[in-house]
Amino acid sequence: MMAPVQCDIDKWLEENKKYFVPPICNKLMYKDGQLKTFFVGGPNSRKDFHMEEGEEFFYMLKGDMRLVVHEQGSFRDIKISEGEVFMLPARVPHSPQRIADTIGLVIERERAPKETDLLRYYIDGTDEILYEKWFHCENLEELGPLIKEYFNSEAYKTGKPIPGSLLEDKPIKQDFERKLGDPFSLQNWLDRHKETLDKEGKKKLFDGQYVSRIDVLGKGEHFPDNDLPETFLWQIEGKSAITVDEKAYEFLKNQTMLIQPGSRYWIQNEAGSRTLSVVMNPV
């Protein structure tokens, strides 16, 4: 069994700060397993939209961002402010817009072998589709070459879709029905649910129907299921004692830990401690 991977967010961001400016603007913290955990900087203004069969978790550590989504048949600008979290459901086209001197956390999961992603462009000023590229995403870096492919296309040069290039029977169906939630302050949420987290010890971070299991763990002992895929932990407040496969770890504020699939672990949170737990199951 592989040992858990532990990081200090502040130290890690300082060591990797060169990646959060153009032309790269992002860096993966955890990339080798099922969860893809990365931080994104800016500026990054783009017109491409991305759609996938999994969900995405957003948290803005520094500054604000905009997430443009195509929701229920029209575009919507979602502002995610510093300190806010947001959960993006599956099968919703989205385009992140970031400015300079900002840092955001994004977590998504690896794709199952038969899952398909979409890169899409719309005709300027409309929601008419100009260009689409369907692909199986094995690496998040694949988007770069696909975007370059678009800029070399006739659709980009003419501003009109190439006849016959847009599939009528889409490999995955866009969710036109769902009304997305709003971003909210993580700290305000923690303050509002302090009593629950101290007495009951655990609460779901997001209301609504999501495949992902995103919980905040409060005071007490926590014994997660043994059959989980990878689990991302982030110590939001206080400190914890974590035992993974009989080895003890001290877990301090603003540290993260990636627990490997099949590991047996438990968490002891002292009073006032808060741990974010992210598990993203396949659909």
| Percentage of residues of the chain with pLDDT beyond 70 | 99
Instruction: Identify whether 234 is part of a domain.
Output: yes
The answer on 118 and 192 residing in a single domain is: no
The answer on 254 and 151 residing in a single domain is: no
**136 in a known ligand binding site:** no
**50 in a known ligand binding site:** yes
The answer on 118 and 20 residing in a single domain is: yes
Confidence bin at 238 (pLDDT 50/70/90): very high
Residue 283 pLDDT exceeds 70: no
**Across 210-227, average pLDDT:** 94
- From CA 67, how far away is CA 62, in angstroms rounded? 15
The answer on 233 and 129 residing in a single domain is: no
**56 in a known ligand binding site:** yes
* Domain's final residue, options 123, 143, 158: 158
Range of the domain at 200: 185-280
The answer on 125 and 204 residing in a single domain is: no
**70 in a known ligand binding site:** no
Provide the number of structural domains found in the chain. Answer: 2
Measured between alpha carbons, how far apart are the two ends of the chain, in Å?
25
Instruction: Identify whether 75 is part of a domain.
Output: yes
The answer on 146 and 45 residing in a single domain is: yes
Residue 274 pLDDT exceeds 80: yes
Residue 232 pLDDT exceeds 90: yes
**66 in a known ligand binding site:** no
Cα–Cα distances in angstroms (integers) from residue 191 to residues 1, 76, 208, 213, 237, in the given order: 37, 29, 21, 21, 12
CATH number, domain at 198?
A: 2.60.120.10
- The pLDDT of residue 244 is 96
- The pLDDT of residue 16 is 97
- Tens-digit pLDDT profile for residues 45-102: 899 999 999 999 999 999 999 999 999 999 999 999 999 999 999 999 999 999 999 9
| Percentage of residues of the chain with pLDDT beyond 90 | 90
The answer on 255 and 154 residing in a single domain is: no
Instruction: Identify whether 96 is part of a domain.
Output: yes
Confidence bin at 139 (pLDDT 50/70/90): confident
Cα–Cα distances in angstroms (integers) from residue 181 to residues 76, 84, 88, 91, 206, in the given order: 12, 13, 8, 15, 9
The answer on 154 and 189 residing in a single domain is: no
The answer on 207 and 147 residing in a single domain is: no
- The pLDDT of residue 1 is 59
Bigger pLDDT: 227 vs 277: 277
The answer on 219 and 113 residing in a single domain is: no
